[in-house]
Amino acid sequence: MDDHTENYWHNRRVCVTGGTGFLGSFVVEKLRERGATDIFVPTHAQYDLVKLEDIHRMLDDGRPDVIIHLAALAGGIGANRARPADFFYINLMMGVQLMHAAWERGVEKFVATGTICAYPKYTPLPFKEENLWNGYPEETNAPYGLAKKMLLVQAQAYREQYGYNAIYLLPVNLYGPRDNFDLETSHVIPALIRKCIEAKESGSPQVVLWGDGSPTREFLYVEDAAEGIVLAAERYNGSEPVNLGSGQEIQIRDLAELIACLTGYEGELVWDTSKPNGQPRRALDVSRAEKYFGFRAQTPFEEGLRRTINWYLEHRKVAQP
């Protein structure tokens, strides 16, 4: 750890919205490791960040110098299709009002996290940040992606008009320990892990999976993502959006076979092609993060999957409803 890191968090109060969540819990740990001693983590039970009065109360209570805004309503394709209005409204209102209130009150820095769902459906690979506006997002998660994308517009507008130091990061699909394993709302990796383990234990001859397995995805281990966010908070003060990813692409069919292998499931993987695939391909150009604030993912994919599977096996009574 360099002196800059130590000095940056010394005497700075930091607020991490969503700090009890999957990614947020790791961000809070990273901050503590790097010398942050005054970390304020608002919970949803205490503050509903859709409500402006709750935002102001939270800022009164936390008095932050830096806000890392991770709170979001998020989920997989099924959840996005079932609740598109919620995904749009809740994410938009939380972010836009919070950033405005932070600027009004003179909060020194605002770190906004977007989503890879903000990219156009047919983005040239690898996804480069300058392609972000070249088309409409994939339909199943467009309301979520666009709501989060408005924080980029806001960050750039507030920087231009007010000189406000708001930055915008675009993490790719995350996975790791403490993920959401609820099959109704989970993303693909925890869903595959849970399905394979339960099928193995019940002796089920097959596991049914959504789509045809042809799409590709890039995944970033959650601890790597937390490291990238904290590095950006310390070192990056620019207007351009920045991808956070691993730079490695895998086909969903290959991912399913790898997880079946790592969980010891030997039955058949059946693809339900009546269900949507989502975006055809996702892989990021991750050069900007390394250039601007020295971030490069460290965790090999298979190692990250093993840790995630082991965590789920140890914590499944609390990890699933």
Helix, strand, coil tally for the chain in percent (to 5):
50, 15, 35
Q: What are phi and psi of 220, to 5 degrees?
A: -125, 125
Exposed/middle/buried for residue 272 (C-beta within 10 Å: 0-12, 13-18, 19+): exposed
Residue 162 known to be catalytic: no
Alpha carbons 39 and 26: distance in angstroms, whole number: 13
Alpha carbons 106 and 104: distance in angstroms, whole number: 6
DSSP, collapsed to helix, strand or coil, labels residue 159 as helix
Domains of the chain: 3-175+219-248+282-299 (3.40.50.720)
Q: Are 225 and 244 in contact (CB under 8 A)?
A: yes
Alpha carbons 151 and 103: distance in angstroms, whole number: 13
Query: Looking at residue 141, what DSSP letter applies?
Result: G
- Convert the pLDDT of each residue in 36-63 to its tens digit: 999 999 999 999 999 999 999 999 999 9
Alpha carbons 144 and 74: distance in angstroms, whole number: 8
Alpha carbons 31 and 7: distance in angstroms, whole number: 12
User: Pairing between strand 13-17 and 66-69?
Assistant: parallel
CB within 8 Å of 244: residues ≥ 6 apart: 169, 170, 171, 172, 220, 225, 228, 229, 286, 289, 295
Instruction: For the chain, give the percent of residues with pLDDT over 70.
Output: 97
**What is the mean pLDDT of the segment spanning 312-316?**
93
Long-range contacts of 198-203 (CB under 8 A, 24+ apart): 199/265, 199/267, 200/263, 200/264, 200/265, 200/266, 200/267
Output the pLDDT for position 307.
98
Alpha carbons 55 and 44: distance in angstroms, whole number: 11
| Residue of 8, 119, 144, 312 marked active site | 144
120: nearest Cα among 242, 281, 286, 251: 281
Q: Are 300 and 170 in contact (CB under 8 A)?
A: no
**What is the mean pLDDT of the segment spanning 196-203?**
97
Alpha carbons 278 and 121: distance in angstroms, whole number: 9
Q: Are 110 and 99 in contact (CB under 8 A)?
A: yes
Output the pLDDT for position 6.
61
Alpha carbons 111 and 294: distance in angstroms, whole number: 17
Say if pTM beats, i.e. exceeds, 0.85.
yes
Q: Which residues pair with 9 in a beta bridge?
A: none
DSSP states along 42-77: --TTT--TTSHHHHHHHHHHH--SEEEE-------H
**What is the mean pLDDT of the segment spanning 63-86?**
91
Q: Which residues pair with 243 in a beta bridge?
A: 170
Long-range contacts of 190-195 (CB under 8 A, 24+ apart): 190/308, 190/312, 191/76, 192/255, 192/256, 192/259, 192/260, 193/259, 193/263, 193/305, 193/308, 193/309, 193/312, 194/312, 194/320
- Convert the pLDDT of each residue in 125-182 to its tens digit: 999 999 999 999 999 899 999 999 999 999 999 999 999 999 999 999 999 999 999 9
Alpha carbons 171 and 137: distance in angstroms, whole number: 16
- Convert the pLDDT of each residue in 10-46 to its tens digit: 999 999 999 999 999 999 999 999 999 999 999 999 9
